[in-house]
């Protein structure tokens, strides 16, 4: 029997899976044939591990081939990912970074508490590293756990400049296991990242390959009837939004990598049956949320963002760019697939835990695409009180009218002047004895949100932390949520909030603009914190996308909706139409960055400077 292969389908499969041996070409000509490149890459060594207190890192271009098309990447010491750095808590480390590129570069030590001059953000904490120059980072390591490092210059993070950091505790404590593997997830595009950005500026859903189809419509008719199916389409069309807009990019642009290896390349971590294995998951992707599971194994989460948590056993977890999650597993069979599917379900990174090289386990299919709900778009009243609302009437309403508030009366409010207000006088329900005992719940939109760079505002955001997120709800697996995380030892600072700052995550998908309070970086003023003060920060998501928010320099201590300590983080994912609060102790003098860790969102303007003085 003759099988006819669809060339387009084959190209897409290669793009999703990558070459079986795709990766670093170790200095060979970028013009070499893909077959040659693949054969050479097959023999490449694992990611180097550097340990001690003195490190020399060199940033340079490097030929790579992940998909069959040779490209140039940005690498550290000729490796993608960059070498894993192994430090010890309490040591002083010295890292000399030499720039061999034709453009400036930098390295940011993500989640590491250090002097702001060593933080590595050009224009904020230092000038950057010019071509041919060497910059010396030097600081004392004050923490332990799993972290990572990456460029904070241009699109270099997207083109390969990222690596893992493992810090051993001074006292040797924490969750230990005889076997320990770093699993660094990332994403790669053959296209120029700035070209990708410009395509999104021209058409915000350019890479969305899950747009509703005629077949979806007929399925809705079969399930709900013609009138309901038409109402559903009319609602989304009139709002000019897509129910499948979960991520800006997809497998149309990206190849998903695990430790620098394509799914077809199948990174493999070895174990002996029955032994405990610690997997240090790091999301070093520029633009991808990953949902991670290992079919046949339970995952006992013991650490997130480098901080020990009370162990919690799950089947799956979602994490975004910037986050880390350490799990303990105890495999008994010969092989297990480590499966990390992208949130929008167009592809996956994949590897194997095995007793020996070459053994594989079945690879699951990506889960079905799930549409965003009205709660994802608009929040909810009492987390579900929207069920009785007439959604069919909503599309004709202006976005500013959707929740019934008169936003016109709010235009004269100066959001930045509200940061130190006594919210108990505003009817937010806080106890009279301590008006800031629990976070406020009433949205306060800045007047700067009422402009062309913001396409929607949410007045009744949900505040619950027990939602795993779109595509993971009721999937039959036990999925980790923020509500499951409890940092061992409690908060670093027992004080309550002295004041409250509220900022809104805003955007316009048609224009592909992203911002805080409708102001992109360059149009905004710094957030000012007084040295030593304890501040509650509320992030209110007025968009339909999840944003992993990373505040440099200080810990973000996530709290429950009623003001109780939950977990210590350096990166907090804020789901669509969600309102999340955390406490910060402003104990690090200097200038710091605060941004969404989706690289294109940061580049488009969701970035703010924080000054502690």
Q: What is the pLDDT of residue 176?
A: 82
The DSSP line for 178-190 is SEEEEEEEEEE-S
Does some domain include residue 97?
A: yes
428 vs 607: which has the higher pLDDT:
607
**Is residue 52 a part of any domain in this protein?**
yes
Neighbours of 225 (CB within 10 A): 11
pLDDT band at 209, cuts 50/70/90? confident
Q: Do the domain assignments include residue 389?
A: yes
| 3-state DSSP assignment of residue 27 | coil
Structure token pair of residue 224: 């709900």
Show which of 141, 173, 205 is a domain's final residue: 173
Average pLDDT, the chain: 85
Neighbours of 229 (CB within 10 A): 18
More confident residue, 189 or 38: 189
Is 64 contained in some domain?
Answer: yes
Alpha helices (H) along 68-156: none
Structural domain total, the chain: 2
- Whole-prediction pTM: 0.86
Tell me, yes or no, whether 449 lies in a domain: yes
Could you say which of 158, 173, 188 is where a domain stops? 173
SS3 393: helix
- In order of 123, 468, 486, the CA distances from 304 in angstroms are 29, 16, 10
Q: Does residue 307 belong to any structural domain of this protein?
A: no
| Structural domain boundaries enclosing 39 | 7-173
pLDDT at 237: 56
CATH of the domain at 94: 2.60.40.420
Predicted confidence at residue 25, as pLDDT, reads 74
The whole-number pLDDT of residue 443 equals 96
Long-range contacts of 414-417 (CB under 8 A, 24+ apart): 414/446, 414/447, 415/444, 415/445, 415/446, 415/447, 415/448, 415/502, 415/517, 416/446, 416/525
Count CA within 13 A, CB hemisphere, residue 402: 26
**pLDDT at residue 219, rounded to an integer:** 65
Q: Does residue 416 belong to any structural domain of this protein?
A: yes
- Tens-place pLDDT, residues 348-388: 999 999 999 999 999 999 999 987 777 777 765 433 333 22
Last residue of a domain, one of 143, 173, 203: 173
Q: 602: part of which helix (H) or strand (E)?
A: helix 599-604
**Angle 331-335-337 from CA coordinates, rounded to 5°:** 95
- 196 falls within a domain: no
Helix (H) / strand (E) element for 235: namely helix 226-239
For helices 226-239 and 214-224, angle between their N-to-C axes, nearest 10 degrees = 130
């Amino acid at each position: 029997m003759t099988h006819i292969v669809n060339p387009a389908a084959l190209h897409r499969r290669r793009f999703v899976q990558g070459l079986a041996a795709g990766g670093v070409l170790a200095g060979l000509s970028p013009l070499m044939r893909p077959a040659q490149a693949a054969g050479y890459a097959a023999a490449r060594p694992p990611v180097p591990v550097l340990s001690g207190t003195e490190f020399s890192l060199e940033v340079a271009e490097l030929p790579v081939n992940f998909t069959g098309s040779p490209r140039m990447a940005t690498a550290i010491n000729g490796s993608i990912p960059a070498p894993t750095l192994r430090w010890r808590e309490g040591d002083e480390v010295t890292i000399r970074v030499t720039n061999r590129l034709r453009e400036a570069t930098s390295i940011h030590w993500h989640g590491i508490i250090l002097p702001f001059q060593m933080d590595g953000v050009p224009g904020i904490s230092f000038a950057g590293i010019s071509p041919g120059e060497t910059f010396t980072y030097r600081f004392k390591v004050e923490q332990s756990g799993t972290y990572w490092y990456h460029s904070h210059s241009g699109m270099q993070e997207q083109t390969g400049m990222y690596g893992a950091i493992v810090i051993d505790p001074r006292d040797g404590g924490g969750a230990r296991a005889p076997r320990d593997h770093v699993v660094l997830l990332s994403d790669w595009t053959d296209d120029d990242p700035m070209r990708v950005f410009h395509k999104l500026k021209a058409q915000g859903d350019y890479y969305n390959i899950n747009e509703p189809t005629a077949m979806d419509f007929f399925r809705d008719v079969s399930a709900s009837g013609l009138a309901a199916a038409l109402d559903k389409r009319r609602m989304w069309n009139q709002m000019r939004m897509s129910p499948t807009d979960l991520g800006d990019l997809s497998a149309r642009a990206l190849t998903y990598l695990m430790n620098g290896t394509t799914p077809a390349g199948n990174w493999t971590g070895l174990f002996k049956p029955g032994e405990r294995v610690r997997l240090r998951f790091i999301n070093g992707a520029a633009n991808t949320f990953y949902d991670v599971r290992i079919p046949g194994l339970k995952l006992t989460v013991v650490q997130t963002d480098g901080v020990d948590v009370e162990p919690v056993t799950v089947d799956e977890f979602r994490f975004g760019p910037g986050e880390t999650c350490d799990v303990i597993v105890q495999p008994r069979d010969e092989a297990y697939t480590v499966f990390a599917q992208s949130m929008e379900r167009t592809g996956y990174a994949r590897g194997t835990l095995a007793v020996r090289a070459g053994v594989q386990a079945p690879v699951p299919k990506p889960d079905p695409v799930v549409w965003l709900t009205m709660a994802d778009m608009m929040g909810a009243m009492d987390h579900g009180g929207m069920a009785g609302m007439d959604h069919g009437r909503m599309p004709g309403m202006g976005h500013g009218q959707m929740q019934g508030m008169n936003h016109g009366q709010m235009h004269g409010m100066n959001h930045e002047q509200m940061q130190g207000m006594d919210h108990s006088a505003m009817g937010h329900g806080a106890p009279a004895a301590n008006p800031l005992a629990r976070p406020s719940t009433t949205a306060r939109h800045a007047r700067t949100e009422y402009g062309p760079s913001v396409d929607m505002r949410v007045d009744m955001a949900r505040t619950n932390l027990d939602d795993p997120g779109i595509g993971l709800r009721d999937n039959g697996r036990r999925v980790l949520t923020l509500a499951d995380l409890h940092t061992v030892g409690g908060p670093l600072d027992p004080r309550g909030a002295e004041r409250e700052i509220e900022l809104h995550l805003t955007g316009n998908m048609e224009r592909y603009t992203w911002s805080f309070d409708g102001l992109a970086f360059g149009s905004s003023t710094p957030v000012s914190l007084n040295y030593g003060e304890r501040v509650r920060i509320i992030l209110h998501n007025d968009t339909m996308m999840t944003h992993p928010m990373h505040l440099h320099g200080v810990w973000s201590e996530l709290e429950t909706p009623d003001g109780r300590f939950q977990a210590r983080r350096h990166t907090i994912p804020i789901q669509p139409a969600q309102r999340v609060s955390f406490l910060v102790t402003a104990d690090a003098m200097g200038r710091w960055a605060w941004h969404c860790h989706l690289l294109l969102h940061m580049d488009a303007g969701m970035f703010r400077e924080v000054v502690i003085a």
